[in-house]
Every structure is written in C-alpha cells, then in structure tokens.
C-alpha cells in the first residue's frame, strides 16, 4: 500500500500540544517533532482527576524529543489559567518566532452517574476541557490571524457525540468543543486558520479502566496520531470531525433532515406529533455550512407552501 501524496512535513512549524506529558498528547508531541516541528510540550502533570501537578512528565517528553534530535520545551501551565497560557504562547514566540499548530488535548475525568455527580465535578470538567481549549485558542488566535496561518485541533469524544453512561460532564464539554469548532472554522477561514475536531478512541491513563486487557494493544494511542497529523497539516480540511481508533478512521457529521412544513395553526402540535417520523426521516439529510442554513431551509419550505396557498 502506498503512503499517498503527503504534505505532512512539519519542518519550520511550531506546535503547542496540551496534556502532552503522557498518553495521546505524548504521542502527538513525539509525532510532530519526528516530522520536524518544534514543540511546546504542555502538561500540568496532575492525576487523572486533575489533582496535583508537576512539570516532570512534560520534561520527560521533551528529553525524549531532544534525544531523537528534535527541538522542544516543557511547560507546566494549567489550561484553566489564561495568564499562564498566554505566557506559554509568549514562550513559544520568544523561542521560535511563531505558533502554527495548537492541539487542545488536555483533559480530566470525574465520572459518575448524573444522579450522584457533584456539581463541582461537573464544572471542573467543563472548565478543563471547554474553557481550557478556549483559553489556549484565544491565546494563539490573534497571532495566527496576523501570520495568516493556523491549524487548531480540538479533542472531542464519542461520549460527546453519542453519549456514554457516567460521563454527562465530560460529554457536555466534549460536544461543546464541536460547537466552538463550527464557528471558529468560519471566522478563521479568511486567514487560513483551519479548525477541526479529533474524536479519539485510545487506551490511555484516562480510559484504561474502560477497555478489557486484550483490546488495549489495538487501541494504543499511536493509532490515533495519523488523524491528528492530517488535521494539523498544511493541507488540513476545515470543520471536520475525524474519529480514529485501532487503525480505523471515520467522520462524524451534524446533519439536518429535510423536515416537513406544518404551518402555524392551533393543531400544529398534534400535526407534529403525528408526523414526527416524517420530520426525523434521514432521507436526503444534509450537512449545513452554517447555522443560517437551517433558517434558509425553513424559509424556503414556508415560502413554497405560501405560494401553493
């Protein structure tokens, strides 16, 4: 099988990878460095639930990159601390003059069923995953606009896209990142800032309890890295949700059905209940290019029916 034509050479590029002290983030950092990128290896160095902190995990990855002949610096900023994140970006600019790639990978888990979940655990997970990505993205956004180039990868999850028992906080945060990506990809397009989402299935410290042992090898983090490289590369798509795990790659889409015009009458609620299967029928569904497309579909159907009447 051929490798295919590739623009996945990252020489001259500067990348920031958050949560890169272990697991998936470590593999992302190693892969970018191996292909020539200079990498800021960010990791708070906390436990899986976000407690504690030490820069030693990030430094170990930096040492690994340097031993292989690459360039990297370690950073221990918490992605929830905007001032620290801004300082991290400035550190990259001071060292290498630019930031081309941001991989928002940092995250924690506080799994419990919603009935048993403490609201503080809900807020913290949202703060790390969603606001952490917002902070890092905001810190590089003006720079990427100015240099007219940027590649941003948000790490979403099947738990956000499709749900997972015990992960209401994590799922809510992860799908929120898709919403963030949808708008930023529109706003960044004019300056060649491409924003995409990666939905990994990987056996890491965060997910080690979720997989039987025999599956751990197939779902090793390295299997997700090709999707990250494509989303971070020069020829990256824009507004794509790429799923990856165990050597398989898929795309997820938020679609809009054709729907049905029912009018605004006293009996419309009953009409909707009676015809709900028609409204939810996926035949001819589309992926709208912006939120306005939903309104356009509704106006078109309304006007078509007004003409008939």
pLDDT of residue 205: 61
CA distance 98 to 9: 17
pLDDT of residue 5: 46
C-alpha to C-alpha distances, 208 to 117, 142, 155, 204, 222, nearest whole angstrom: 21, 37, 18, 5, 15
Q: Which residues are catalytic?
A: 170
pLDDT of residue 172: 98
The 3-state DSSP class for residue 172 equals helix
Residue range(s) of every CATH 3.40.50.720 domain in the chain: 14-252
pLDDT of residue 306: 80
pLDDT of residue 2: 42
H helices of 97-241, in order, are 119-126, 132-147, 158-162, 168-188, 213-216, 225-232
pLDDT of residue 19: 97
Per-residue tokens: 35: 């292909």
pLDDT of residue 57: 94
Q: In order along the chain (309 residues), what is the average pLDDT of each group of 10 residues?
A: 65 98 97 98 80 81 98 97 98 98 97 98 98 98 98 98 96 98 98 98 69 78 96 98 96 97 97 98 96 92 83
pLDDT of residue 3: 47
Per-residue tokens: 193: 């800032």
Q: Which of 188, 163, 165 is nearest to 175 (CA)?
A: 163
Provide the CATH number for the domain formed by 14-252 in this structure. Answer: 3.40.50.720
Q: Which of 177, 245, 167 is nearest to 18 (CA)?
A: 177
pLDDT of residue 188: 98
| Residue 298 φ/ψ, nearest 5 degrees | -70, -40
Do 37 and 13 contact (CB within 8 A), yes or no? Answer: yes
């Amino acid at each position: 099988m051929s490798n295919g034509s590739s623009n996945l050479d990252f020489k001259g590029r500067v990348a920031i990878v958050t949560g890169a002290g272990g697991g998936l983030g470590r593999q992302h950092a190693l892969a970018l460095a191996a292909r020539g990128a200079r990498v800021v290896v960010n990791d708070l160095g906390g436990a899986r639930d976000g407690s504690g902190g030490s820069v030693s995990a990030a430094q170990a990855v930096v040492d690994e990159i340097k031993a292989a002949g690459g360039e990297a610096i370690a950073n221990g900023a918490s992605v929830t601390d905007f001032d620290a994140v801004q300082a991290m970006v400035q550190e990259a600019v001071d060292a290498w003059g630019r930031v081309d790639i941001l991989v928002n990978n940092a995250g924690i888990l506080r799994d419990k069923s919603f009935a048993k979940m403490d609201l503080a655990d809900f807020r913290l997970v949202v703060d790390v995953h969603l606001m952490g990505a917002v902070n890092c993205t905001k810190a590089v956004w003006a720079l990427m606009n100015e240099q007219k180039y940027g590649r941003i990868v948000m790490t979403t999850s099947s738990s956000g896209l499709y749900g997972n028992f015990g992960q209401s906080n994590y799922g809510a945060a992860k799908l929120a990142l898709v919403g963030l990506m949808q708008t930023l990809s529109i706003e960044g397009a004019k300056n060649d800032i491409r924003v995409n989402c990666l939905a990994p299935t990987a056996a890491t410290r965060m997910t080690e309890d979720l997989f039987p042992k025999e599956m751990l090898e197939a779902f090793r983090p390295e299997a997700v890295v090709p999707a990250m490289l494509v989303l971070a590369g020069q020829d990256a798509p824009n507004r794509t949700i790429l799923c990856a795990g165990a050597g398989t790659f898929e795309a997820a889409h938020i679609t809009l059905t054709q729907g049905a015009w029912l009018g605004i009458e006293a009996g419309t609620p009953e009409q909707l209940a009676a015809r709900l299967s028609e409204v939810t029928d996926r035949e001819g569904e589309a992926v709208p290019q912006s939120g306005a497309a939903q309104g356009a579909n509704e106006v078109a159907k309304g006007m078509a029916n007004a003409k008939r009447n």
